């Protein structure tokens, strides 16, 4: 039998009400939420009853999603489900690193709060946004981005889907060119041009935060957004900071995990964004959301 891979979702997957059911049903999830709310009062309220507008603010999105994801992973373990490998999409990589034991829950939460603050600061300095480009080959998307001074292909999600970051005043024309080429550009529910040069200062500042943190050896193999390979004795601080201003190599990450023996993936997030991507990467793979696994009461 192959290994189970935990996949922690990223910014844009947040939604009002996330985690309230987990808190009521699983004591391990409740303990996690209580811990994080004690560090950052209001986190639970924002998760359980915050508005979409509140949750879209990066300084809120990141700690709230982190809290949900660590609580959901704790609920899975309470139910007897344990990972053999893990990866996290963008902000989800900080949650994954914490769940894998590179950081204590307290340290991981402190770091993700600071990450959200730094990225919001850079978002406020430059009016940039993101969009998922659908139905076009990678090389076509790269070529279209190359026609603009500040539009970048940043997240290589799955076949036929690349996320781009760009200055907002260039994204309208870019989306029109995508449509003319036979594709579609779907705006993302984020406020900022993440994983691009717009975030270079945030990456540098976050590296300093990471180098001041206490880092453990990790209990579970964790695959890095930056390289699509495991943190095999590599520089955790460099990999986690550089991913803020570098592309997320998600499709290759999943393919590498599968090649290394992962045959079942569980999405740790409020929705099913990563599960849907998985089906496009390999339609035969077993991919389920955390809620589907918990509702069944089975490992997979």
Q: Which of 181, 170, 180 is nearest to 148 (CA)?
A: 170
CA 236, 239, 242, 244 dihedral sign is: negative
Q: What is the DSSP string of 70-115?
A: HHHHHHHHHTT---SEEEE-THHHHHHHHHTTSS-HHHHHHHHHHH
Please give the order of strands across the beta sheet that includes 286-289: 222-223, 85-88, 3-8, 262-268, 286-289
* Annotated catalytic residue, options 90, 123, 241, 246: 90
C-alpha distance from residue 8 to each of 5, 133, 163, 166 (Å):
10, 22, 18, 25
Residue 72 and residue 92: Cα distance in Å, rounded? 13
Q: What is the DSSP string of 232-276?
A: SS--HHHHHHHGGGS-B-HHHHHHHHHHTTEEEEEEESSS-HHHH
Residue 269 and residue 192: Cα distance in Å, rounded? 21
The length of the chain in residues reads 300
Largest CA-CA distance found in the chain, in angstroms, rounded: 53
List residues bridging with 165 in a β-sheet.
130, 152
Active site residue 82: no
CA 272, 156, 281, 287 dihedral sign is: negative
Residue 12 and residue 271: Cα distance in Å, rounded? 10
Give the phi and the psi of residue 29 in degrees, each rounded to 5. -70, -40
**Tokens read off for 200:** 């270079």
* Annotated catalytic residue, options 195, 196, 241, 246: 195
Active site residue 90: yes
Active site members: 90, 195
């Amino acid at each position: 039998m192959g290994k189970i891979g935990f996949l922690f979702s990223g910014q844009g997957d947040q939604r009002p009400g996330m985690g309230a059911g987990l808190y009521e049903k699983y004591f391990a999830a409740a303990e996690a939420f209580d811990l994080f709310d004690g560090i950052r009062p209001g986190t639970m309220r924002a998760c359980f009853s915050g508005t979409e507008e509140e949750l879209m603010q990066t300084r809120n999105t990141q700690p709230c999603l982190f809290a949900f994801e660590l609580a959901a992973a704790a609920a899975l373990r309470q139910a007897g489900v344990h990972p053999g490998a893990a990866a996290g999409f963008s902000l989800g990589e900080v949650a994954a690193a914490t769940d894998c034991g590179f950081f204590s829950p307290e340290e991981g939460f402190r770091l993700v709060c600071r990450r959200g603050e730094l990225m919001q600061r850079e978002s406020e300095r430059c009016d940039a946004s993101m969009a998922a480009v659908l139905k076009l080959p990678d090389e076509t998307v790269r070529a279209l981005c190359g026609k603009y001074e500040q539009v970048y292909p940043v997240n290589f999600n799955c076949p036929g889907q690349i996320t781009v970051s760009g200055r907002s005043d260039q994204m309208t024309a870019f989306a029109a060119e995508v449509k003319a080429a036979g594709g579609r550009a779907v705006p993302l529910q984020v406020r900022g041009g993440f994983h691009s040069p717009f975030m270079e200062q945030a990456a540098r500042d976050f590296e300093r935060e990471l180098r001041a943190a206490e880092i453990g050896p990790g209990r579970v193999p964790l695959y890095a957004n930056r390289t699509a390979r495991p943190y095999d004795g590599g520089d955790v601080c460099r990999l986690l900071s550089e991913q803020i201003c570098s592309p997320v190599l998600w499709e290759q990450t999943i393919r590498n995990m599968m090649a290394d023996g992962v045959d079942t993936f569980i999405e740790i997030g409020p929705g099913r964004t990563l599960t849907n991507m998985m089906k496009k990467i390999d339609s035969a793979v077993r991919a389920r959301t955390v809620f589907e696994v918990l509702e069944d009461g089975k490992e997979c």
